[in-house]
Structure 1
Amino acid sequence: MSAPDPRDIYSTLDLALRIGDLMLSSGAGAADVAATMLAVTHACGLQRIDADVTFTELSLQHQPNLEEPASILIRRVRRRPADYAELIEVNRLVQDLIDGMATRDGARERIAAIDSADHPRARWLITVGWGAVGGSLAVTLGGGLVVSGLAFVAACGIDLVGRATRSRVPLFYQQTAGGLLATLVAVGAAATQIDADPSLIVTASIIILLAGIGLMGAMADALTGYPLTANARLLDALLATVGVIAGVAAGLTVAELAGADMGHVEPGATGLAQGSVMTIGAGLAAAAYGLACYAPLRASTAAACVAVCGQAIFLAVDGFSLGQTWAAATAAIVIGTISHGIAGRVRVPPLVLIVPAIVPLLPGVSIYRGLALLAEGEDGVLDLAAAGATAIALAAGVILGQYLAQPIRREGSRLESRLAGPRLAGPLLKRVGRRGRPPIGPNDA
């Protein structure tokens, strides 16, 4: 058997690295990225591959035997906003490669087209989508029509500022500018004595800024044996969060100098009627977030359904006075479990459903309360610590939900394959015996 052409080897490695780059920049965990790259190389006929994933770099090494030198390719990971349309197309491409429905050269053409394709949605629609996220989050927090409108304006401004500065300044300063802008919008509302709670506007904007932080990917890396990548992601998330805190703190200082009363955020009552409105707001926020990240309509709709379930669980557990950390963890476990089962039916990776569904549960309330207390000279450290605990609980809960969903789904498939009774929908799956024959029933002789 002749050795493979070096050009074929490098072509295969390059394809796998391009796929890994798109996945990692979309928030996928290092373990998932490494496993996908290995699956791509194996599908293209290469064995004995070692994959290494860090926060800023991907590398693949191929050495067929000890007598030959290793072929190593390294690719720098580009920082860019999450693009679920690209992630879904990459996921489909990898599946086609594994199923033998795509060749390596055809896959290289497809990945190049995915990376360079223009989005069908106009950029102003994406800005409106982010505005809808802000307005919906204000509803989730218990805000009225005026508060939702102002949160919409603040979220649109955050997106425009982020787009203008993305390629020029580090993420820390982008987050600081976004937090300051949102707080200034709230200060303006308080100064003009509009019938609106400024604290809800700031809190909704904080949640939007937190949504782009890859804390869940960092937790996934820490739990799956990638400590270096996890530390890098955690440091990046910490700096981004500190940027939000710095921006909001600066805005609160402006409010104090202007004599504007920012108030204290009240997330809304948890009665049946108010809870229903907050749950609907969570679903709308998740759908809008998915659309703002270029997810297809079917995925955004599914994410909204998952978010509604998660918010309902959160409100139910929080009603037992167990604390928001336990409520967030329980809701995250449900979100992770449900998303794993629904993702296959809507033909998207679970990540496309999980992240939008988690957004309404992010601890913007605790961060604002902590900053407001610090601005008044009181102790707000406990609230900020509670925000960190809630964020960690959300990330860990989602990952635990994914682990729980895998055996449940596997055992459910086995049970379905063994059922011989009637089904309410879908074709009847006949179980095949060990020797390839249908099982003998009680009426067979």
Structure 2
Amino acid sequence: MSATPLEQAPPRRDLYLTMALALRVGELLLGSGESNETVSGAMRRITDAYGVPHSEADVNLSAITLSHVPADGGVPVTVERRVRRRLPDYDRLIAVHALVAEAAAGALPLEEAQARLRRITRRVRVYPAWFLVTAVATVAASASILVGGGLRVALAAFAATVLGDRASAWLAGRGVAEFFQIAVAAMLGSLAAVLLIALGVQVRAEAVVVGAVVALLPGRLMVACVQDGIAGEYVTATGRLFEVFFVLAAVVSGIGVTLYTAVRLGVPLSVENVPAAPLLLEPAQLLGSAGVTLSFAVALLVPPRHLVAAVIGGTLAWVVFVLLCGGDVPVVLATAVAAAAVGLFGSAYARAAKVPSLVITIPAIGTLLPGTALYRGMLETNLGHPDAGMSSLLQALSTALALGAGVMLGAEIMRAVTGSDLARRVRPAARRARRPFIPRPAARRTRGS
């Protein structure tokens, strides 16, 4: 029996070009925050599309390895690419996913796919650099409004975040590790609040810290961490979890240095003054939640045509969270359910608009990030209440993990109800090629003691 097209060995040059294309696609997807499951799946779709079957992708946080064992007994090939930059660019992420879809459909020749990928990597960002800095600062300003701060507090949070961002950029330019960049940004954000309190300014100064902390929390990493764990990628999930811990540790360290110094200098800090977001559906809170979501979306380079959907998702998250908390549902559970609603909405929009669900879900969970609990925990610890401080920090960590789990729950509900678009595309292709359909690894059933 003659070999099918997918089983014929491609020319060596095409094999190398295909593997190079798959590696570059994987690097761009991983750098934008996609899960290992999505990255490895996209790479296999590329290799299958261009006649390089029997390929295996091994993805971790710092390197991608792709191996191919020819069916004709030829020499196996293994290539690797280091992932040195993980900067989210959702406009580029959408373009890469579109390229993979067209390649898998057989509508994109190999040479054209390579040229298109080069154009994607060189394209001008959808927003200028100064706009991104403004967006990050607006996240802090909007979050301070969400927790009850006024206009002056929002302006202070905006200025403190800009200062922290520029200080981080200065440190990055001199090769200082990212841990200390984040710590300095958190320190400057909390320093602004301490100065307002020390000067006796009659505002809710602590809201400045909450806003600055929300702008630094790693929502994207939390979701990817939980997604990798659910998909069975336990090594990478553990690595992402440690990355989340280190980011949180950097934020806690920066806040801790400022609060420790302030307490020793006699600045009148009090746990009773720590602001919490009023559980209301009032215009101020709705405006704050929409502002946080919109600003996060711009900072993640979400294209303008998807911003309205992201804002709807963020507002939905806040409404569901407030209604649940009003019904005496615990905060962590309410957070998980609200995040699940976002995951469901984001997955539905992604299917309709043919974009990755991250474009909607990651900005939308910004309103639920545990900035208040994190600040309260550090303040209680520095005021001599370590048990209460650890309890607040544990609540912040539990809330962060609930966000990731909730988003994934919403996505899995959508998958269970509608099925996987990828499975519907791949199953007929596998049948035509006379090879078995390989199901989603996370869906394989295992039994054991």
The normalised TM-score by structure 2 is 0.87
SS at match of 1:371: helix
Matched residues in 2 for 1:115 and 1:260: separation?
Answer: 50
Task: Name the structure 1 match of 2:94.
Answer: 88
1:409 has 2:415 as partner: no
Q: Contact 1:186/1:262 (CA < 8 Å) preserved in 2?
A: no
1:307 has 2:314 as partner: yes
Task: Name the structure 2 match of 1:266.
Answer: 275
Task: Name the structure 2 match of 1:43.
Answer: 49
Matched residues in 1 for 2:220 and 2:411: separation?
Answer: 20
Q: Structure 2: which 5+ residue stretches go unaligned?
A: 422-449
Task: Name the structure 2 match of 1:421.
Answer: none
Matched residues in 1 for 2:140 and 2:245: separation?
Answer: 22
Task: Name the structure 2 match of 1:16.
Answer: 22
Task: Name the structure 2 match of 1:97.
Answer: 103
SS at match of 2:57: strand
Task: Name the structure 2 match of 1:159.
Answer: 165
Task: Name the structure 1 match of 2:83.
Answer: 77
Q: Structure 1: which 5+ residue stretches go unaligned?
A: 413-445
Q: Contact 1:211/1:359 (CA < 8 Å) preserved in 2?
A: no
1:71-220 alignment runs, 5 A limit: 71-166=77-172, 168-211=175-218, 214-220=221-227
Are the structure 2 counterparts of residues 166 and 44 from structure 1 closer, same or farther at C-alpha, using a change threshold of 3 Å? Answer: farther
1:367 has 2:374 as partner: yes
Q: Contact 1:286/1:356 (CA < 8 Å) preserved in 2?
A: yes
Q: Contact 2:9/2:71 (CA < 8 Å) preserved in 1?
A: no
Q: Contact 1:213/1:237 (CA < 8 Å) preserved in 2?
A: no
Are the structure 2 counterparts of residues 361 and 271 from structure 1 closer, same or farther at C-alpha, using a change threshold of 3 Å? Answer: closer
1:426-437 alignment runs, 5 A limit: none
Corresponding letter in the other structure for 1:158: G
Please state how far the C-alpha of 1:212 moved relative to its aligned partner: 5.8
Q: Contact 1:213/1:240 (CA < 8 Å) preserved in 2?
A: no
Q: 1:60 aligns with which of 50, 63, 66?
A: 66
SS at match of 1:58: strand
Task: Name the structure 1 match of 2:425.
Answer: none
Please state how far the C-alpha of 1:120 moved relative to its aligned partner: 4.4
1:256 has 2:256 as partner: no
Deviations 1:85-131 (Å, cap 9, x if unpaired)? 11111111112212223221111112122223332422111111111
Corresponding letter in the other structure for 1:82: P
Task: Name the structure 1 match of 2:349.
Answer: 342
Are the structure 2 counterparts of residues 190 and 23 from structure 1 closer, same or farther at C-alpha, using a change threshold of 3 Å? Answer: same
Q: Contact 2:137/2:215 (CA < 8 Å) preserved in 1?
A: no
Q: Contact 2:263/2:383 (CA < 8 Å) preserved in 1?
A: no
1:221 has 2:228 as partner: yes
Deviations 1:144-195 (Å, cap 9, x if unpaired)? 1111111111222232233333352222111111111101111222222222
Task: Name the structure 1 match of 2:437.
Answer: none
What is the count of residue pairs matched by the alignment? 410
Please state how far the C-alpha of 1:285 moved relative to its aligned partner: 1.0
1:5 has 2:11 as partner: yes
Moved more, 333-342 or 137-146: 137-146
Task: Name the structure 2 match of 1:331.
Answer: 338
The normalised TM-score by structure 1 is 0.88
Task: Name the structure 2 match of 1:415.
Answer: none
Q: Contact 2:214/2:366 (CA < 8 Å) preserved in 1?
A: yes
Task: Name the structure 2 match of 1:292.
Answer: 299
Q: Contact 2:222/2:403 (CA < 8 Å) preserved in 1?
A: no
Are the structure 2 counterparts of residues 235 and 211 from structure 1 closer, same or farther at C-alpha, using a change threshold of 3 Å? Answer: closer
Are the structure 2 counterparts of residues 215 and 120 from structure 1 closer, same or farther at C-alpha, using a change threshold of 3 Å? Answer: closer
Q: Contact 2:317/2:367 (CA < 8 Å) preserved in 1?
A: no
Matched residues in 2 for 1:102 and 1:334: separation?
Answer: 36
Matched residues in 1 for 2:402 and 2:313: separation?
Answer: 18
Q: Contact 1:341/1:409 (CA < 8 Å) preserved in 2?
A: no
Please state how far the C-alpha of 1:277 moved relative to its aligned partner: 2.5
Are the structure 2 counterparts of residues 38 and 25 from structure 1 closer, same or farther at C-alpha, using a change threshold of 3 Å? Answer: same
Corresponding letter in the other structure for 2:350: A
SS at match of 2:384: coil
Are the structure 2 counterparts of residues 299 and 374 from structure 1 closer, same or farther at C-alpha, using a change threshold of 3 Å? Answer: same
SS at match of 2:396: helix
SS at match of 1:321: coil
Matched residues in 1 for 2:11 and 2:369: separation?
Answer: 50
SS at match of 1:50: strand
Percent of residue pairs bearing the same amino acid type: 30
Task: Name the structure 1 match of 2:397.
Answer: 388
1:316 has 2:323 as partner: yes
